[in-house]
Every structure is written in structure tokens, then in C-alpha cells.
Amino acid sequence: MITVREARPGDGEIIWRTTWALAEHHGFLANFVAKPADYERDLFCANPVIGALIAEVDGIPAGSAVWHRSYSTNRGREIMYLEDVIVLKEHRRKGVARALFKAAAQVALDKGYGKVFWMVLNWNEDAKALYRKLGAEIDPEHRLCSIDGDALNALAG
Amino acid sequence: MITVREARPGDGEIIWRTTWALAEHHGFLANFVAKPADYERDLFCANPVIGALIAEVDGIPAGSAVWHRSYSTNRGREIMYLEDVIVLKEHRRKGVARALFKAAAQVALDKGYGKVFWMVLNWNEDAKALYRKLGAEIDPEHRLCSIDGDALNALAG
């Protein structure tokens, strides 16, 4: 029995556990400095920019989705960016990811966000196949640019 | 003389003009439905999720940058997403883009955002060369997924 619910105060720990597992899976642990209290603070403040969903299998946390408010200048409207959709290893192949995407889509429509977007690693063929089955388009042309740390400080001057 | 300033009430029209020009340049006009009033409303509301910078050359608007608050689950902190950095055609090759990126980096640091990220179209070698010169990294592996319209409604069920 898969259920998905909105995160509530106290869920920072569950979200941290799942995002940590994803960072480990992707080999990103070196950059993973978040603490459960960070999510707790940023989810349950006065005007949160993020939201989260918790998936449970028979009442046990099996995954999570963290999204944040985003914006389309083409639309002149807020949209939803899915930062993480995670299913813990022992709960894969049960439909948990699909349930999380479906719930995220419902949250987006409830909030008047006409579009949801997210990233996938190009080598992750299983994920790409699922996303296409869900109706998503995968754009071949956009590439992700970023700057942080010393380079960001240097740019700011 | 290039100057960059934060957008102020009344700048919705300038931002609209520059974002429209970018959508035209990228062949995205079919999806461009934003109106100047949309930017005006979303920039100058109580808890805006977006911000904008206006670049001027000798006091004349030459470009703009629209960013929105974003979030890194790895950091457990807000970061900055640059939705658009635009230089109008007649003001290219003067250093306007660099000035906009520099100003955006300053805004990011002022707000405590330790990272700025944005997208580039892979065919845009000029843009990629500039971004690398600014100190940015261009990630080869991430791909952009999205769902909207009928597909989003169908997914939400």
C-alpha cells in the first residue's frame, strides 16, 4: 500500500535520510552538508520557497520529493521545480516514484503552477524511461551551468 | 558606460521587452504569454520569489537578468537560479552580459546564496565560452525534464 502525504513538522529527519541516500547514490556526498534542521527550518517557515512530499509503503517512509517554487519568464507565472525525487533502495520497483510524481503534479495544479520541471542524469536510462512514461519531455539541448565558492566570490568582485 | 541596477516598480515593461527579445532569438515565442504586468506583480509583491537587474548603456536599457530563489538539498540552503540573462542585439559585445552576471553574483552573496546556476543551449558556443571565462562550470550530464499542459493534468489524474 503506497501513500503519499505532504511533509509535516518533524519530517526533516526522514527527508534528510532520503536526500542523503540520493547524494550517496550519485556520488555527491562530498558536497552534502545539509542537516535535518535545515529542512525543518526551510519547510516550516513563514513563506517557504520549498515543499516536500513523503511516500510511505505500508506506513513506512519509502521515499520523498522536495520541490521549490520556480518561475517561467515565458509564462510570467510561478512553476514548480522538483529538486529531488527519491525512492529508498529497498522500496524500488513498487511504483513509489510514480506515486511521488503524481502527487507532485497534483500539488503543482493545486497551486496554479502550469509546469513542473526537473533534471535527470543522462546515463540514468531507467529514470528517463519512467519520466517518458509519465508524459515528460526530456530536452536534449539545455546544459546546466553553475558557479560557487571562490569562483563566485571572484565574479562578484 | 555600463551600469547595472536592481529593478524598481515600473520596470516590468523593460523586462518584458528584453525577455520577449530572448524568446524570439531562441524561437520560443509560441510559448511566450507573459505580460509586463506579470513581472510587475511578481517582482514587487510582499514575498517575491523572483528578482531582476537592469543593465543600461549610457542610461539606456540594454539588457536584463531575471533570477529566482532556488534551493539546494545538498546544502540545505537557498541558492540563486538565473532564469534569463539578456543583452539586446544592438548592445552586444560591450561587456553587458559580464556586468549582469557580476551584479547577479553580488546579489547572490548579499543574500547568502552560495551558488548560482542557470541553463545554456548546447549549440550556443559564444555563451558557453563567456560562462567559462566567468568561472562557471558547464555540466555535461544533466538533462532537463518537464511536463505541462494535458500531460501534467493526466499525470495528476
pLDDT digits (tens, 9 = 90+) for B126-155: 999 999 999 999 999 999 999 999 999 999
Taking Cα atoms as reference points, which of A83, A43, A73 lies closest to residue B115? A83
Residue B111 forms contact with A (CB below 8 Å):
no
CA A1 to chain centroid: 22
The predicted pLDDT at position B28 comes to 86
The predicted pLDDT at position A26 comes to 84
The predicted pLDDT at position B27 comes to 87
Query: In chain B, positions 91-110, which contact chain A (CB-CB < 8 Å)?
Result: 101-102, 105-106, 108-109
φ, ψ dihedrals at B102, nearest 5°: -60, -45
Nearest residue of chain A to residue B76 (CA atoms): A34
Taking Cα atoms as reference points, which of A80, A57, A68, A78 lies closest to residue A5? A57
Beta bridge partners of B3: B56
Give whole-number Cα distances, A106 to A1, A155, B37, in Å.
19, 40, 27
Residue A24 forms contact with B (CB below 8 Å):
no
Question: Parallel, antiparallel, or unpaired for β A77-87 and A60-72?
Answer: antiparallel
Residue B124 forms contact with A (CB below 8 Å):
no
Structural domains of chain A, count? 1
Convert the pLDDT of each residue in A10-60 to its tens digit: 999 999 999 999 999 888 899 899 999 999 999 999 999 999 999 999 999
CA gyration radius for chain B? 16
C-alpha dihedral (B47, B49, B55, B61), degrees to nearest 10: -80
Residue B47 forms contact with A (CB below 8 Å):
yes
pTM over 0.90: yes
B148 to chain A: which residues are within 8 Å by CB?
A: 114-116
Residue B31 forms contact with A (CB below 8 Å):
yes
The CATH number for A25's domain is 3.40.630.30
Distance (Å) from the alpha carbon of A152 to chain B's nearest alpha carbon? 6
Convert the pLDDT of each residue in A24-34 to its tens digit: 988 889 989 99
Under 8 Å between Cβ of B67 and B78: no
ipTM: 0.94
Under 8 Å between Cβ of B15 and A56: no
The predicted pLDDT at position A19 comes to 96
The amino acid present at A123, given as its one-letter code, is W
SS3 A86: strand
Range of the domain at B144: 2-156
Under 8 Å between Cβ of B19 and A73: yes
**What is chain B written as a DSSP string?**
-EEEEE--TTTHHHHHHHHHHHHHHHT-GGG----HHHHHHHHSSSS-SEEEEEEEETTEEEEEEEEEEEEETTTTEEEEEEEEEEE-GGGTTSSHHHHHHHHHHHHHHHTT--EEEEEEETT-HHHHHHHHHTT-EEESSEEEEEEEHHHHHHHH-
Neighbours of B25 (CB within 10 A): 12
Convert the pLDDT of each residue in B48-78 to its tens digit: 999 999 999 999 999 999 999 999 999 999 9
Contact (CB<8Å) A116/B148: yes
Contact (CB<8Å) A31/B75: yes
Nearest residue of chain A to residue B27 (CA atoms): A74
Report chain B's mean pLDDT, rounded to a whole number. Answer: 96
Distance (Å) from the alpha carbon of A59 to chain B's nearest alpha carbon? 22
Q: Say if residue B26's pLDDT is above 90.
A: no
B75 to chain A: which residues are within 8 Å by CB?
A: 31, 33-34, 38
Catalytic residue numbers of A? 131
Residue B2 forms contact with A (CB below 8 Å):
no
Integer Cα distance of B140 and A119 in angstroms: 12
| % of chain A beyond a pLDDT of 90 | 97
Q: Which three cell numbers stand for residue A80?
A: 514548480
The amino acid present at A157, given as its one-letter code, is G
B39 to chain A: which residues are within 8 Å by CB?
A: 73, 76
A38 to chain B: which residues are within 8 Å by CB?
A: 75-77
Active-site residue (options: B39, B71, B81, B131):
B131
B18 to chain A: which residues are within 8 Å by CB?
A: none
| % of chain B beyond a pLDDT of 70 | 100
Sequence-ordered list of residues with C-beta below 8 angstroms from that of A92, at least 6 positions apart, any chain: none
